[in-house]
Amino acid sequence: MAALFEQLINDYGVITPRAVADEFHTTLKDISALTGLPQDTISKRERFQSKASQKRLRDIVMIINRVLPWCGSSLQAYAWFRSEPIPSFGDLTAEGMVKRGMSDAVLEYLDRIAEGGFA
């Protein structure tokens, strides 16, 4: 988890939406859609630094970082996060689960898979 966090977290311990957008070669508008947070929240420092916004951004980074070894690159892990349906969650994607506030369930699912469990 440290490697991706080190790239995306600033000196103040904050994950900035711009850093996430730059890492995945996308826009702040896409990061807004990805997180389920309003574009105003993503674009204004005082809003994206809030506890709730930082939790959503950290959850995304943690999930993507967790699948990174299986995907091979951060861009492929990002693509998995956005588009791969997860049967255990009614074919919702990890992105859909995060938007519903269920990132802990995704992380538990990934831990189960990593330990050799069933999807």
Coil, strand, or helix at residue 15? strand
pTM summary value = 0.87
Measured distance CA(26)–CA(20) in Å, rounded? 8
Measured distance CA(12)–CA(44) in Å, rounded? 16
Q: Where are the domains of the chain?
A: 2-114
pLDDT given at position 7: 82
pLDDT mean values, one per 10 residues, the chain (119 residues): 73 90 93 90 89 92 92 92 94 94 94 79
pLDDT given at position 1: 47
Measured distance CA(115)–CA(47) in Å, rounded? 37
